[in-house]
Structure formats: C-alpha cells, structure tokens
Amino acid sequence: MERTTKKMVEKYLREYPLIDGLIAREELNIMYPYQEPDENVGGGRAQYKKNAPTEYAAISVVDSETIRAFQHRRDVIDQCLDECGEDTETLICELYFRKRQRYSVESLVTNGMIFVSKSKAYYLVDKFIAKVASKLNLYDVSDFG
C-alpha cells in the first residue's frame, strides 16, 4: 500500500469520532449560508423575486457531495469495525479514535489488553486499513488476500 493512501485512511479514522459533528456543521452551512451585506443602496435587486430558501436548502442538503462523502466514510468504517475481531477493534479504537492515545501497540500487547503478538497486532492494523481503503475505492488490495 502506498504511504499516502495509508496516511489518508488514518486521517479518516481519526476523523471518525467527529464525523457526525462535521455532517451537522455542513448541513448548517447549507441551511444558513453566509450572505454579504448589500452596500448598493436603492437598486440592484429585483423587487418581486420569488424567494424559496427552505426548498433550495433542502435540495442542497440532499445533493451535497461533502455530506454524502462523510456519510459514506462513516458507513464504511462502521461496516469494517463490525466485521473485524475484538483485538482489531481494540487496536483501532486505541490508536485512532481516542483524543489522547493512552497505549501504543506494544503496551496493549504487554498489558494483555489484546491477545496477539506484537507483529500480529501490526498486521491486524495494516489489514484493517487496507480493508477500509479498498471499500473506499482508494486502491486495489493485492497484498492482503
């Protein structure tokens, strides 16, 4: 796997706990867009212009590429977490989902929080990242058959 692909997936994994807030913020940006004040006094705007901002906002929220991308990422990571084992889930939660990481891979193994060897733990993390990358169509998985 390319280094940039792995870094991108790791970034997505770190964003995962915040993704609902990011979706809500994007919806608010669409519903209430920033409007610059009109300094043109007395002219320049149509008087009888039909104004339907709610309809436009609802359509914009449904069609927003950003919101759909966030939802797709969230769904893919949820699906991969459901399919992985308990040790992999512990590793991913500790390494990527915590705001401040308490344990490294080595300390998770030595403290008995996961029941695999250190090399197997790194393999599980790499396999999970590759699975997420393949489901996000970031690259073709060839070395994790």
**DSSP per-residue codes, 73-120:** HHHHHHHHHHHS-HHHHHHHIIIIISSS----HHHHHHTTSS-S-HHH
Q: How do residues 16-34 score in pLDDT, each as one tens digit?
A: 999 999 999 998 888 777 7
Residues 6 or more apart whose Cβ sits within 8 Å of residue 142:
none
Hey, where are the domains in the chain? 3-33+54-135
Q: How confident is the model at residue 43 (pLDDT cuts 50, 70, 90)?
A: low
Q: For residues 24 and 42, give the distance between their C-alpha atoms in angstroms, rounded to a whole number.
A: 37
Q: How do residues 127-140 score in pLDDT, each as one tens digit?
A: 999 999 999 998 65
Q: How do residues 75-128 score in pLDDT, each as one tens digit?
A: 999 999 999 999 999 999 999 999 999 999 999 999 999 999 999 999 999 999
